Amino acid sequence: MSGAETKTEIFTVTDMGELMGEKDMSSTNMKRSIFEQYVQPCLAELFGTCLFVFVGCASVIGNVGTAGVLQPAVAHGLALGVAIMMFGQISGGHFNPAVSLSAYLCGGMDLLLLVPYILAQMLGGLGGAGLTRAVYPFNVYNASFGGAFHVVSDDLATVTLAEVIMTTFLTIVVCMGAINSQTRSPLAPFCIGLTVTANILAGGMLSGACMNPARAFGPAVVANHWNHHWIYWVGPTCGALTSVSLIRFVFGDKKTRIVFK
C-alpha cells in the first residue's frame, strides 16, 4: 500500500468519525431541545403551582385573629411573584389555567403546551393542597376547609361576576406585562403578584378572590369541599376571555390586534 493510499484511507476514517460525532451531537441536541421545550416547562408549572397552592392554603388555614384577608392577600401575592421570578424563564410562570388560556389566545404560548400546562397545574394544585393537609392538625385544617373556597353569599351571580372582574384584571396584567411587545416589563412578576394581593384585599370577602381554577381544585379534592365549585371555573375562564378580547381588539400591539392594524 502506497503512502498516498494510506493517507487517503486515514482521512476517510476520520471523516466518517466526524460524521458519526455530528449525528450523535445532533441527536443529543434534539433530545435536549424536546426536554427544554416541552418537558421542563410542564415540570416547572407543576412544581411552581404546588408551591403557590401550598402557601395559599397555609395562609388561609393559619389566618387567625383579626387579620382578615390581609394575611392571605400578602402570602398569595408574594408566593406568586417569587414563583414567577424562579420559573418564568422556563415556562412563563403561569401556574393558573386561566392565565395559560389567555396567554395562548394572545399569542404567548404554543397550542401543544396548553393542555399539558393545565394538567400540570391541576396536579400541582393537588400536590400543594396535599402538603398543606400533611403539615396541619386535622382540627385546624378542617375548621378552614383546608384552604378551599367557601361561598357564603346566596347571590351567586354577584360572586361569579366578582371572579370575572378580578380575573380580568389579573390576566390583562399578565398579558400586557409579559407578552404584549409594547408594554412588556421586567417588573411583570412584581406587578402580577401585586395584582393578586390587591384583588384579594378588594374581593376576598365577596368570593374569596380565587382567580385560579387550580388553586380552587386542589384543596376542594383534598378536603372534599365542593361548595359552588363551578364558580371558580366559570368566573376565571370568562375573565380570561374578557381580557383577551380587550387585548385583541383594543390594547394589543400591531402583531396581536386583529383590527386597526
Q: What is the pLDDT of residues 136-173, one digit of tens each?
A: 999 999 999 999 999 988 899 999 999 999 999 999 99
Distance of CA 193 to the CA centre of its chain: 12
Cα–Cα distance for residue pair 27/25, rounded to 1 Å: 5
Q: Please report how many Cα atoms fall inside a 13 Å half-sphere around the Cα of residue 161, on the Cβ side.
A: 5
Query: What is the pTM (predicted TM-score) of this model?
Result: 0.87
- 71 within a domain of the structure (yes/no): yes
The total number of structural domains that make up the chain = 1
pLDDT in tens, 73-124: 999 999 999 999 999 999 999 999 999 999 999 999 999 999 999 999 999 9
- 257 within a domain of the structure (yes/no): no
Supply the range of the domain harboring residue 34. 3-251
CB-CB contact of 192 with 80 (8 Å): yes
Q: Angle, nearest 10°, between helix axes 97-105 and 156-178?
A: 50
The H-or-E segment that residue 43 falls in is: helix 40-61
Q: What is the CATH number of the domain that holds 236?
A: 1.20.1080.10
